[in-house]
Amino acid sequence: MKYGLTFAALVAATAATADPLTIYAPDYFASEWGPGPAIKAAFEAECDCEIEYVTGDLLPRILLEGERTKADVAIGFNSDVTKKARETGLFAPHGLDLSPLTLPLEWTDDTFLPFNWSYTAFIYDNTKIKNPPASFHELVNSDEDWSIAIQDPRTSISGLALVLWGKEVFGDDAEAAWAKLAPKVTTVTKGWSEAYGLFTDGEVDMVLSYTTSPAYHIIAEEDNTKSAALFDEGHYFMVELAAKLKGTDQPELADEFMAFILSPTFQNIIPTANWSYPAALPRDQWPEAFSELNYPEKAIFLNEDEADALRDEAIAEWRTAFSQ
Amino acid sequence: MAHRVFAIRLWPGLIAAALVAALSLGTLGVVALRAESFSTLSKFDWMAVRFTVVQALISAGLSVVLAIPVARGLARRDFYGRRLLITLLGAPFILPTIVAILGLTAVFGKTGFVSIALNWAGLGPISIYGFHGVILAHVFFNLPLATRLLLQGWGAIPSERFRLAASLNFAPRDIFRHIEGPMLKEIVPGAFAVIFLICTTSFAVALTFGGGPKATTVELAIYEAFRYDFNLGKASLLALIQVVICAVAAFVSLKFRVPQVGGAGLDRPVQRFDVHMLSARGLDLFWIVMVSLFLLLPLLAIVLRGAHGLFDLPSSVWSAALRSLVTALGSAALAIILSLSLSLSALRWRWLEGVGMTAIAASPLVMGTGLYIVLFAVADPADWALFITGLVNAVMSLPFILRAIGPALAATERNYGRLSDSLGLTGWTRVRLVLWPRLRGPVGFSAGLAAALSMGDLGVIALFARPDSATLPLQIYRLMGSYRMDQAMGAALLLLGLSLALFYIFDLWGRRRA
């Protein structure tokens, strides 16, 4: 009997360690400078289980693996690409009450759960630029010789957001607007890092990034020289999402983690670990620097179907204008 | 042809060729098989093909043409620090792209050294962004490789020929026509081809310095098809086009290659009697100084930019560095085994070397994806991340290595093969006494190159890695991705130092007189 108990305890112990909750995440998320490690520690303290992150290109990887994926939860989708993810049929409804969400717009998706968000914006050095553009139209039409670095919409999610943002603001005149902006754009980079590096090195005056970027400089570097230029037309709303896999072999634990995403514990980690806005935390509970950041009045958002329908046309217009 | 020594040893080359073909073309096949449909290519895709070919032709042409006077200067001069300079000049070729981008902008950018100097001179700043920027960046990357390959060609000219030339009162022009020219005819086509191939698979560099979507390469189109549309059919179709471009380039270059005829020497040290003229000195000095400035200033910028970040690197960066080192050494060993097998067998079957060259045509992204599909069917791909990184990099560095080892091996066989046969030298004895002393230099250089390239590669690991098994380049990207630019530049400096040290050690070993 005693042996039986010991054996049972052993089996239970090995089961707990042998089968962790496998979470697929983008590389930045699980790295030690991302929010992943703190979230892992906080969740493991509550659940008596183990989280294992698997990093890489999130969506391509899940599409490659299909039904046989080991993922229990996938975190880090962008709303502009969830259509493709949803069509795979690999994801299960989260079944959660969405009332804790504090997004600037209504969110009713029953599968993809927001965990953080931000607005795309042009970040500039406020010691060099005293009269930043107050609207997208002003940026495009201005005679100032600003130099800007942006990301390519074909290789970068923030680059895609810019193109969709422009399409929403300028509509049928988008191509003409890009053609006017093109001379001010010093270069287009493959990813966010290259462009932001050019900005911090002083190679360009402005960079396409997020309204939350200055918070990093304020909090981590005590540097107040970086600001986001706020536009009257509104800013493109970028949200990151998590979803539970239908084929998970740990449905309860996956559900538990999905619920944990909306908890204050998780949400409080987001601002200073991810440098973005938390999805389920009232503004008065954000870190001070975040509350002080200038905050857009209006969100521009395309749901996944709209984004998908517009994408090819918007990229082609951008590309034609920028290839002149 | 009584080269009995290799008559029985074709199987290592065949195995190596099969492995390379499986990785370059096999992975492409695997990705194509997974595709659901094959869409046709748009006008944008054809624009990308055109841009890719045109910029690669110009970049490769310029790299090789500029390398000729530089390599000649380095070959016929002896000055203090020459060896170190030769090693340093190899550095740009092994830089990770993101580091090179920041290094180049620090020199040629709007706020770079050159623009500052021009401002002093009362001239406006230059712009690096545009078609010329793509060429500039590619020459920066590939001029070092071209220089090294040509330098080896110069190093292989027997000293007796220069003595003969001196006794015949040859002017420098005659020496060029009768001695250096024929050597260049053998080496240049291969060097041109390999650099052309490298430039065709460029992507992030071409985009950044091209300034916009005009500078779209086929590799970028592959990335887009894969990442956004998950259109494997289109990705493999584009990858196939890339292979065709590369195959044509390789074929043409081999057609143009003129093997040298001429006697062998007795391995005496080279003495040049024609280099003391003032004009020749001035010319060499000019080229060496110009190229050193062009290649070393960006490196200096990286050192300056990374110096203060170097002392505040988290421990994970150091463990990633160790992981990268081990992978790099394994990759170098594998690359040497593969390339020696291929080169030896290629003495009999020329086409085997062509198979080795196909590796560069393969898109790293397609290769990684294909391997992922295959591995996922049998194992957890993440467990194999470092092994795959080493393997892919070994295969990816084969084209450069074959350019370094192949000609040396062929020349040795041509010059000493019959003598060795008549002396009954076969098997290992022949390798030890005849081949190895002449191969040691290229092998050392190649091992250093393969190790350094593997150090700096990010390509495949991005699809496979676990959070805790990152390589150094991946850590640099992670640091940048989380705003930590100073630490990232510190880590980049560490990477630069380690890659150079690896390269230098191997290279030095190769150049020690056996």
Strands A51-55, A21-25: parallel, antiparallel or unpaired by DSSP?
Answer: parallel
- Using left for φ > 0, alpha for ψ between -120 and 50, and beta otherwise, residue B13 falls in alpha
Average the pLDDT over each of A137-151, B265-279, B315-329 and give the range with the smallest value.
B265-279
B292, B366: one domain: no
Q: How far apart are CA A202 and CA A225, in angstroms?
A: 12
Q: What are phi and psi of A56, to 5 degrees?
A: 150, -170
Q: pTM for the full model?
A: 0.85
Q: How far apart are CA B425 and CA B433, in angstroms?
A: 9
CB of B117 within 8 A of CB of B513? Answer: no
B13, B75: one domain: no
Q: Which of B291, B307, B323 is the last residue of a domain?
A: B307
Q: What is the pLDDT of residues B293-303, one digit of tens each?
A: 888 888 888 89
Q: How many structural domains comprise chain B?
A: 2
Q: Which residues contact B72 (CB under 8 A, 6 or more apart)?
A: B150, B154, B180, B284, B287
The domains found in chain A, sorted by start residue, are: 21-117+239-292 (3.40.190.10), 119-237+301-323 (3.40.190.10)
B146, B95: one domain: yes
Q: What is the pLDDT of residues A73-85, one digit of tens each?
A: 999 998 878 888 9
Sign of CA pseudo-dihedral A45, A49, A50, A55: negative
Task: Tell me the residue type at A267.
Answer: Q
Name beta bridge partners: A125. Answer: A226
**Which residue range is the domain that position B271 belongs to?**
42-307
B18, B88: one domain: no
Q: How far apart are CA B434 and CA B426, in angstroms?
A: 10
B316, B298: one domain: no
Q: Does residue A11 have a pLDDT over 70?
A: no
B55, B18: one domain: no
Q: For residue B120, count CB atoms less than 10 angstroms from its CB and return exposed for 0-12, middle for 13-18, buried for 19 or more.
A: exposed
Nearest to B211 among A188, A197, A202 (CB): A188
Q: At A189, is the secondary structure helix, strand, or coil?
A: strand
Determine, for residues B477 and A193 on separate chains, whether the beta-carbon distance falls below 8 Å: yes
Q: How far apart are CA A320 and CA B206, in angstroms?
A: 18
Q: Which residues contact A308 (CB under 8 A, 6 or more apart)?
A: A80, A83, A84
The conformation of residue B24, written as its DSSP 8-state character, comes to I
The residue of chain B nearest to residue A188, with distances taken between CA atoms, is B212
Q: What is the mean predicted confidence (pLDDT) over A170-188?
A: 93
Q: What are phi and psi of B94, to 5 degrees?
A: -110, 10
pLDDT at B449: 85
Range with top average pLDDT, A231-240, A285-294, B213-222: A231-240
Task: Tell me the residue type at A64.
Answer: L
Task: Tell me the residue type at B380.
Answer: D
Say whether residue B378 is in contact with chain A using an 8 A CB cutoff.
no
Nearest to A54 among B211, B382, B481 (CB): B382
Q: Which residues of B touch A57 (CB under 8 A)?
A: 227, 462-463
CA B401 from chain center: how many Å? Answer: 8
Minimal Cα–Cα distance from A4 to chain B, Å? 34
Q: What is the mean predicted confidence (pLDDT) over A187-207?
A: 90
pLDDT at B514: 40
What tokens does B305 get? 């930019």
Q: How far apart are CA B296 and CA B375, in angstroms?
A: 41
Average the pLDDT over each of A204-218, B201-215, B326-340 and give the range with the smallest value.
B201-215
Q: What is the pLDDT of residues B394-414, one digit of tens each?
A: 888 888 888 788 777 777 877
B318, B208: one domain: no
B9, B61: one domain: no
Q: What is the pLDDT of residues B448-487, one digit of tens each?
A: 888 888 887 766 666 666 667 788 888 888 888 888 888 8
Minimal Cα–Cα distance from A97 to chain B, Å? 31
Q: Does residue B288 have a pLDDT over 50?
A: yes
Question: Distance between terminal CA atoms of chain A?
Answer: 82
CB of B404 within 8 A of CB of B442? Answer: yes
Q: Does residue B510 have a pLDDT over 70?
A: yes
Nearest to A190 among B102, B203, B466 (CB): B203
Q: At A92, is the secondary structure helix, strand, or coil?
A: strand
Q: How far apart are CA B79 and CA B85, in angstroms?
A: 10
Interface test with A, best of B33, B230, B372 (most A CBs within 10 A): B230
CB of B257 within 8 A of CB of B185? Answer: yes
User: What is the residue-wise DSSP string for A162-183?
Assistant: HHHHHHHHHGGGHHHHHHHHGG
B303, B318: one domain: no
CATH number at residue B399: 1.10.3720.10
The residue of chain A nearest to residue B214, with distances taken between CA atoms, is A323
Q: Which of B307, B341, B356 is the last residue of a domain?
A: B307
The residue of chain B nearest to residue A147, with distances taken between CA atoms, is B110
Q: How far apart are CA B14 and CA B494, in angstroms?
A: 39
Q: What are phi and psi of A125, to 5 degrees?
A: -90, 110
The residue of chain A nearest to residue B113, with distances taken between CA atoms, is A203
Rounded to 5, what percent of chain A is helix, strand, coil? Answer: 45, 20, 35
Nearest to B224 among A36, A154, A217 (CB): A154
B500, B392: one domain: yes
Q: Which of B307, B330, B351 is the last residue of a domain?
A: B307
pLDDT at B271: 63
Q: How far apart are CA B509 and CA B503, in angstroms?
A: 10
Minimal Cα–Cα distance from B304 to chain A, Å? 13
The fraction of chain B above a pLDDT of 70, given in percent, is 90
B21, B63: one domain: no
Q: Which helix (H) or strand (E) holds A22?
A: strand A21-25
B348, B298: one domain: no
CB of B514 within 8 A of CB of B436? Answer: yes
Q: At A106, is the secondary structure helix, strand, or coil?
A: coil
